[in-house]
Structure 1
Amino acid sequence: MTESAARASIAIVTYPDVQMSAVLGLGDLFTIANRNSRQSGGGVLSVTEVSGRATDDTDGEPFAAVILPPTLKKSRGRNEKTIHEWLRAQHAGGALMCSVCAGAFWLGHSGLLKGRPVTTHWLLEDEFRTAFPDTQVNAEHLLIDDNDIVTAGGLMAWLDMGLFIVNRWLGPQVVSDTARHLLIDPSGREQRNYRSFRPPLTHGDSVILALQHWLEGHVDNEVTVKAMAGRAHLSDRTFLRRFKAATGLTPNTYVQNLRIEKARGLLERTRIPVSAIGWNVGYQDPSAFSRVFRAATGLTAGEYRNRFGVVARGAVTHGLPS
């Protein structure tokens, strides 16, 4: 919903180790949006960089929105009590609280995310769940709007957050004009379009690790739990327990994730027909492959290839026609 305002005040928090490219990029995005808005007689966004170590300098009326950008380092804000108190005060005063990527940790440690749906970078999902078990983490989404709290995942998701802010206060036409200026898509992306399956390999269970290595080259086989347990020389029950303990996944879920990851690679690097790719990664039913791939990535296999493929159209690979 667009909120009309002659001037909406936006705070970008420059906490310790903040990603300055995001801070400056957001400033530039809002500058371009303001220029486009003024041309049509609209309002503007007034942007302030608020130092995480000097939040007491901003006493007074709360901001319309507060943004916590990403960080490229390990900062999580756990002990930044001054910032936590300031964030809670801003929220209590009516500010829209926003985070990008690891910035969600700062909101979490402020106590503002309890029971809330939230997203962050998919690589940080497990760390975030451990730190804040009372949140509803949905890392497949690039942006989650929960009314007074908005979170975005991914280092570059500050673009999505910036356009969200622009839409909320300046309207969809300014979003369109700004996105066109920056040559970016204004909407429609999801984090699951980009995430990769990175199975844990440092769990210390050599038997399960050997099976994982074997699976890497045999996803096209009809791999059953019984077959995997037999290869690991374990009973079905013991195998299921040890596999879940080592990888965090059931064997069937693990194999499905591995197959989809292999399919992504073939779609990106080759022109093998989609039906053949499904067969190559273990799906004998093309419709089943299509359903599973779309559920995992948010895209059809053809859409994924069009967006991420790096092989020229018309190329022939592995002896198969394009």
Structure 2
Amino acid sequence: MQDSPNPLSVALVATPGVQEAALLGLTDLFAVANRFAPGRIVATRVDQPVPHRFDVVLFLPSLGGSRGAPDHPLALWARDQHRQGARLCSVCAGAFWLGAAGVLDRRPVTTHWALEDEFRAAFPAARLEPEQILIDDHDIVTAGGLMAWIDLGLFLVGQAGGPALVSQVARHLLVDPSGREQRNYRTFRPNRGHGDAAILAVQTWLETHHPQPVLAEDMAAVAALSGRSFLRRFRAATGLTPSAYLQNLRIEKARGLLERTPTPVAEIGWAVGYADAAAFARVFRQITGVTAGDYRRRFAIA
């Protein structure tokens, strides 16, 4: 592979509390790429605005809770870089900095699934898709969880040197270059701190009654509420309809059984409340992105 006359210049933005592992990891990943294709990527750590224009400006995860603000110098600098043609990228909470830069309205974007509620509240005009590991929207590229810097790094390697270079780097680093989604890893942790005692009683009841045929009327009876009041208060407290909550709870219970036990998949479906194996398979894949068998192969605890 020939030396590139136009290397891809990448600014690795070190915001307050930056995850150093991501910053150093991307630096190493790009260094490996340059072994196979010398001079193809030039990565620079940026702690404060600099006059140089970059091809890519990348905001990394923050372990210190950094979220940025519209008047922060780095957010203003990123906005100016974007206006000059730079591609803006983020990993995990780095998406908050892109939001602060004002570039995410009506744009598809992802971040760590655990930050979904906070992100939606901060940037309601963005089209958040938290189930995705990476979203390429041409001039805005966002990656999901803390370790998704690997996915974004390989994506940028592909932009600089094509799929053959991605394959070389991925094989050298022993990483899978494609095929992951955040929902493969996402866990169901419903809100229990909402302060509605009647709804909390239903949530606690469902933890042991989810294998049974459960209707909204049954939950309303546990809450001692009318049907209409129950539906309104349940959604306000949990963010989900009762049926969606029940499905997510059942699949979360199934995940645990798949991870910890050798119980056959069909029996697990029955144990968490699905009399129809096909229905269990369909819902499991819809929520997790993989089949129950694939999930067990990937996440079973030895």
TM-score (norm 1): 0.90
Name the residue aligned to 1:14. 14
Instruction: Kindly state the Cα deviation for residue 198 of structure 1 after the two structures are TM-superposed.
Output: 0.4
2:275 paired residue among 278, 281, 284: 284
Question: C-alpha separation between the residues in 2 aligned to 1:115 and 1:5?
Answer: 35
Percent identical among aligned pairs is 59
Question: C-alpha separation between the residues in 2 aligned to 1:17 and 1:72?
Answer: 6
Contact 2:133/2:148 (8 A) holds in 1? yes
Name the residue aligned to 1:44. 40
1:1-322, aligned counterparts within 5 Å? 6-38=6-38, 44-51=40-47, 54-55=48-49, 58-60=50-52, 62-78=53-69, 80-311=71-302
Please list the CA deviations of residues 199-219 of structure 1 after superposition, one character each: whole Å capped at 9, or x if unmatched. Answer: 111111112111111111121
Name the residue aligned to 1:314. none
Question: C-alpha separation between the residues in 1 aligned to 2:87 and 2:42?
Answer: 15
- Pairwise CA RMSD: 1.2
Question: C-alpha separation between the residues in 2 aligned to 1:96 and 1:11?
Answer: 10
**Amino acid aligned to 1:130:** A
Instruction: Kindly state the Cα deviation for residue 6 of structure 1 after the two structures are TM-superposed.
Output: 3.8
**Amino acid aligned to 2:141:** V
Contact 1:96/1:149 (8 A) holds in 2? yes
Question: C-alpha separation between the residues in 2 aligned to 1:78 and 1:92?
Answer: 18
Question: C-alpha separation between the residues in 2 aligned to 1:302 and 1:248?
Answer: 30
Find the residue that maps to 1:113 and give its secondary structure.
coil
Question: C-alpha separation between the residues in 2 aligned to 1:264 and 1:194?
Answer: 10
**Amino acid aligned to 1:59:** P
Name the residue aligned to 1:319. none
Name the residue aligned to 1:315. none
Question: C-alpha separation between the residues in 1 aligned to 2:5 and 2:266?
Answer: 52
Question: C-alpha separation between the residues in 1 aligned to 2:97 and 2:255?
Answer: 33
Large movers: runs of 4+ above 2 Å: none
Contact 2:78/2:101 (8 A) holds in 1? yes
Question: C-alpha separation between the residues in 1 aligned to 2:41 and 2:120?
Answer: 34
Question: C-alpha separation between the residues in 2 aligned to 1:80 and 1:105?
Answer: 13
Instruction: Kindly state the Cα deviation for residue 80 of structure 1 after the two structures are TM-superposed.
Output: 4.7
Instruction: Kindly state the Cα deviation for residue 5 of structure 1 after the two structures are TM-superposed.
Output: 5.4
Give the count of matched residue pairs: 299
Question: C-alpha separation between the residues in 2 aligned to 1:304 and 1:186?
Answer: 19
Contact 2:15/2:66 (8 A) holds in 1? no
**Amino acid aligned to 2:273:** G
Question: C-alpha separation between the residues in 1 aligned to 2:246 and 2:140?
Answer: 36
Query: Which ranges of structure 1 fall in alignment gaps of 5 or more residues?
Result: 312-322
Contact 1:99/1:107 (8 A) holds in 2? yes
Question: C-alpha separation between the residues in 2 aligned to 1:79 and 1:18?
Answer: 18
**Amino acid aligned to 2:218:** A
Question: C-alpha separation between the residues in 2 aligned to 1:230 and 1:296?
Answer: 28
Query: Which ranges of structure 2 fall in alignment gaps of 5 or more residues?
Result: none
Instruction: Kindly state the Cα deviation for residue 231 of structure 1 after the two structures are TM-superposed.
Output: 2.0
Contact 1:5/1:169 (8 A) holds in 2? no
Question: C-alpha separation between the residues in 2 aligned to 1:6 and 1:246?
Answer: 53
**Amino acid aligned to 1:124:** L
Question: C-alpha separation between the residues in 1 aligned to 2:177 and 2:36?
Answer: 15
